Structure 1
Amino acid sequence: MQATKLYRIDLKPMLVFISVVETGNLYAAAHQVGCSGSFACVLLKQFRAAYKAPLFTREGRELSPTSEAIALADFLKAQLTKISDVTIEIENETAKFK
């Protein structure tokens, strides 16, 4: 495990990406994750810059995820769920010692 790489990971772009895949709309995704639409746009651009493959097609105001984007979002959700579960477990263990 490379702690320095983990330290630099920002999960917000991943969360916005997953929300856009789920909602099909950048502003609905922003609302879902609790940020402004303009900030969600910045975060999605960051994610798209890191992941070079086409992830969405635009249909009017909606963003339709490609099959690759859907698979990637499913993978990321599973991994983030594991991280969340570990965090909860640590919090529960820490509470025992208070």
Structure 2
Amino acid sequence: MNKVKEHCPKCELKYSIEPSFYTGSMYVSYAVGIAFAVATYVLLLIFGYASNPMTIFISIVAVLAVSFPYIGAVSKSIWAHLFFKYQPQIAKQVKDDSRA
């Protein structure tokens, strides 16, 4: 689930700096999961369903279970963006090569 390609198909950038590189994305995943849980709780408060703690718990667990693949993918993307910097000249070269 959430496999990361070895290299970029256009510019050959290696996506994994070292073995187990994306293990650090677990920390990002935790933060993103907390954000989803807080957002769920706030929505329950707004719509008036936050009166029962079991309802809150089940709602948060359900939202996290459904959004787990998305959270994993976003976490890996955020983690990678901390280490891989955007280089406009390479992006322009790849764009020009794809037009030809």
Higher relative contact order (CA 8 A, sep 6+): 2
* Smaller-chain TM-score bracket: 0.3 to 0.5
TM norm structure 2: 0.33
Structure label with greater radius of gyration: 2
Which of the two has greater strand per residue? 1
